[in-house]
Structure 1
Amino acid sequence: MTAQPVEPAPRHPRKTLRGIREALPADQVAAFETERDGLDLEDLTRVAAFRDKWWARAVTARDAQLDSDSDAAMAGDLDLAEPWSLASGQ
């Protein structure tokens, strides 16, 4: 008997239209579809910007801790580790 490798669940949604759409909260899907349907596929810069914008929203929606950490960081309330000196002998 051989063991099959266990693949962990992907942390981030796939960078496909379907992957992004499935990871978005329900209240953002209509805006995603409207923007997607109006996208000029000949403008590759805008296509990449569209993908990056909505993929980032999908990642944030999938990871609630990331969203709360981002809000805390913007408010100046995120607890960070104290930096340490890289100089030897101090």
Structure 2
Amino acid sequence: MTAQPVESAPRYPRKTLRAIREALPADQVVAFEAARDGLDLDDLTKVAAFRDKWWARAVTAQDHQLDSDSDAGMAGDLALAEPWALASGQ
């Protein structure tokens, strides 16, 4: 007998424009398309920043735990682990 996970892990979209667009909530698609259409493809730094920003939004929309953690972090309510000393003797 093998154990089955209670909840399957979220499947993150591929880092393609089509996959990102399909994974976005409907209320963000128009903003995504406007930003995409105005993107200067000669500036690779801006292309990478655009991809990363919108991929993160798509991932957050699909992973509800990540979404709630993000909201809690922005509100200052996220419980974080206590830091520990990295050097010995401190």
TM-score of the aligned structures, taking structure 1 as reference length? 0.74
- Following the alignment from structure 1 to structure 2, what is the Cα–Cα distance between the partners of residues 74 and 11? 24
1:44 partner amino acid: L
Equivalent residue number for residue 51 of structure 1: 51
After TM superposition, the structure 1 = structure 2 runs for residues 29-44 of structure 1, keeping only pairs within 5 Å, are 29-44=29-44
TM-score of the aligned structures, taking structure 2 as reference length? 0.74
- Following the alignment from structure 1 to structure 2, what is the Cα–Cα distance between the partners of residues 64 and 17? 22
Equivalent residue number for residue 12 of structure 1: 12
Indicate how the Cα distance of structure 1 residues 22 and 41 shifts in structure 2: closer, same or farther if over 3 A, else same: same
1:71 partner amino acid: D
Gapped regions of structure 1 (runs ≥ 5): 1-7
SS at match of 1:12: coil
Equivalent residue number for residue 26 of structure 2: 26
Shift of 1:76: 2.8
- Following the alignment from structure 2 to structure 1, what is the Cα–Cα distance between the partners of residues 9 and 75? 32
Q: Give the fraction of aligned pairs with identical amino acids, expressed as a percent.
A: 84
1:43 partner amino acid: D
Q: Which runs of 4+ in 1 moved over 3 A?
A: 79-86
2:25 partner amino acid: P
